[in-house]
Amino acid sequence: MSATAKKTAPMAEDIRARKGGEPLVSLTAYTTPMAQMMDAHCDFVLVGDSVGMVLHGLPSTLGVTMEMMILHGQAVARGLSSAMMVIDMPFGSYEESPQQAFRNAARLMAETGAGAVKLEGGVEMAPTIAFLVKRGIPVMAHVGLTPQSINTLGGYKVQGRGTAGEALMADARAVAEAGAFSVVLEKVPASLADAVTQAVPIPTIGIGAGAGCDGQILVVDDMLGLFTAFKAKFVKRYATLGADGEAAIADYAREVRARSFPAPEHVFGDDAPEGKA
Angle at 229 between CA 228 and CA 233, to 5 degrees: 75
Q: Which stretch binds ligand KIV (CB under 6 A): 42-50, 160-168, 169-177, 250-258?
A: 42-50
Residue 50 C-beta: closest distance to ligand KIV, Å: 3
Q: How many residues bind ligand KIV (CB under 6 A)?
A: 11
Alpha carbon 16 to its chain's center: 17
Contact call for residues 244 and 54 (beta carbons, < 8 A) = no
Q: Which residue number, 142 or 173, has a Cβ lying nearer to ligand KIV?
A: 142
Nearer to ligand KIV, 59 or 262 (CB): 59
Q: Which is nearer to ligand KIV, 46 or 174 (CB)?
A: 46
User: 3-class DSSP state for residue 100?
Assistant: helix
Q: Quick check: 184 binds ligand KIV (CB under 6 A)? A: yes
Three-state secondary structure call for residue 2: coil
Least separation in angstroms between CB 262 and ligand KIV: 39
Eight-class DSSP state of 121: B
50 marked as part of a ligand binding site? yes
Per rule CB under 6 A, is residue 39 in the interface with ligand KIV?
no
Q: Is residue 265 flagged as an active site residue?
A: no
Dihedral (CA of 126, 129, 135, 136) sign: negative
**Amino acid identity for residue 15 in this structure:** I
Binding residue numbers: 49-50, 88, 118, 120
* Active site (catalytic) residues: 186
